[in-house]
Amino acid sequence: MKSTLSRAARFGPLALAALLVTGCTTASETSTSTSTAATSAAETSAESSATSAGSSEGSATSEASTSEATGSAAAPTGDPIVIGHTAGMTGFMSVFDIPVEQGMQMAIDDINAAGGVLGRPLELVTNDNATDPTRIQTAAREIIEQGADFIVPSCDFDIGAPAAREALAANIVAIGCAGGPQFGYDGIGANTYNTHISSPAEGSVMATWAFEQGYTNPYVIVDDTLEYSQVAAESFITQWEALGGTIAGQDTFQSGDTSAASQVTGIQQAQPDLIVAGSYPPGGATLIQQIRSAGIETDMMGLQAFDGTYWLESIPNLSNFFIPATASMYGDDPRADINAFFERIETETGEPAASGFYPLSGYSSVQALATAIEEAGSTDTAAVEAALNSFTDEPLLIGSTTYTDTCHIPSARPQLVLEYTDGRPAVVAQDVVVTEVPGGNPC
């Protein structure tokens, strides 16, 4: 039976804010803390609503508080709704996919503590594709055979798309966080949804912000190892030129390269006022380290994949380095619920989050599925797809999210910009958004 509560009241950031705050207990303690969460909800709602996007969040404040104030939710019962995470838990994708799973498990704990979905518990099952292209489809089929009702693939188009196609063949909804613009309706099919704004939008956001800051002569390094990094860097160039700018030069790079000598030479010859490192860790860290070691202190901008400080071992005092970011995990995000989320991760694990985007994507993928299932009143694929397709500025924890019948990538979500100073990131810009991506918004 479909819940009578609105989407935002059940699974929006306001409704889950109390669980994010009181969730600083361990996951096993979460299910016993719902009444405490109800008390905290009223205190958290006012702060969160002042910073959360979308009028739907504001209208949900009283609903969420009223619902939670009635007391502890009944424990979910019956057969679990199984969400399968088929991902690179080992190999280079583990840096991204393990934080995704961390966020997924937090969302499942919170939603189950709030009564589950349609009164049923959510359950996470995981298997490891070892970041091995020959293993991805097999791993996806195995997790479907284990009873997964929904799939979250690896957070990358090259590694995640084969799993999403297996979900399509099995008539199962897949939701992930690939930057590749084909991870969605157009590139895979009607059952595939993305929480990432896409690499064309990411590159366009970078170019828009840099242009507005007054940079005039960027040098762009394109890492063509993955579609994500290649398309993001190329989209920077496209957007920059659409804004009327010209670039000082460009070069390519492979994430496995051990030398950046040719890139250093190109930069020295071009004398740019901004270097765009269109790459990702760990290989991208080598690129940046060698540029700085050559005595080049020019401002640099990297992709969101650089979010975090785990990759700074060889360049611990990195400064004048900027990245676009969905959120800040450093306590200075303009949204209170985001700060509470990352504080909770550190409290529960004893360590700060390794990165910002990936655990948020995992949490919000589960949140989106729970919201859609509740709205649909069932786990039927067509009904869940229809509910997801009706998302308009849906207040997921990761941010405002819109899907339509034929567009499953939220490319218009506002972004932050972080600056690294002496190895410490901090927010320097917010609400950076590109409503139209050159060549058309990816879907």
Q: In tens digits, what is the pLDDT along the chain, a chain of 443 residues?
A: 334 334 544 565 545 544 454 444 433 333 333 333 333 333 333 333 333 333 333 333 333 332 333 346 789 999 999 999 999 999 989 988 999 999 999 999 999 999 999 999 999 999 999 999 999 999 999 999 999 999 999 998 989 999 999 999 999 999 999 988 889 999 999 999 999 999 999 999 999 999 999 999 999 999 999 888 999 999 999 999 999 999 999 999 998 888 999 999 999 999 999 999 999 998 999 999 999 999 999 999 999 999 999 999 999 999 999 999 999 999 999 999 999 999 999 999 899 998 899 999 999 999 999 999 999 999 999 999 999 999 999 999 999 999 999 999 999 899 999 999 999 999 999 999 898 888 788 88
Structure tokens at 13: 């950031």
User: For position 439, what pLDDT does the model report?
Assistant: 78
Give pLDDT, residue 179: 86
Its pTM surpasses 0.85: no
Amino acid at 141: R
- Using CA atoms, how far apart are residues 155 and 144, in angstroms rounded to an integer? 18
Query: Which pLDDT does position 72 carry in this prediction?
Result: 66
CB neighbours of 203 closer than 8 A, spacing ≥ 6?
A: 231, 232, 233, 234, 235, 236, 237, 238, 239, 278
pLDDT value of position 435: 81
What is the pLDDT at residue 91? 92
Q: Do domains 7-197+333-401 and 200-325+415-432 have the same CATH topology?
A: yes
Domain 7-197+333-401 has CATH 2.60.120.650: no
> H or E segment at 142?
helix 136-145
The SS3 call for residue 426 is: strand
**Which tokens is 179 given?**
């930057």
- For residue 190, count other CB atoms closer than 10 A to its CB: 16
**Does the CA dihedral 207-195-417-335 come out positive or negative?**
positive
Nearest CA to 267 among 245, 247, 242, 238?
247
Rounded Cα distance between 341 and 280, Å, is 24
CB–CB of 338/51 below 8 Å?
Answer: no
Phi/psi of residue 192, nearest 5 degrees: -110, 125
Position 180 scores a pLDDT of: 84
pLDDT at residue 436, as a whole number = 82
Which residues have C-beta within 8 Å of that of residue 366, sequence separation ≥ 6?
Answer: 83, 103, 104, 107, 108, 111, 122, 152
Query: Is the link from the previous residue into 324 a cis peptide, with omega within 30 of 0?
Result: no
How many degrees, rounded to 5, is the angle at CA 337 between CA 17 and CA 391?
A: 80
Tell me, rounded to whole angstroms, the distance of Cα 84 from its chain centroid.
18
Phi-psi region of 388 (alpha: psi -120 to 50; beta: other; left: phi over 0): alpha
Q: What string of DSSP letters covers 69-87?
A: HT-PPPPP-SSPEEEEEEE
The domain locations on the chain are 7-197+333-401, 200-325+415-432
CATH annotation of 200-325+415-432: 3.40.50.2300
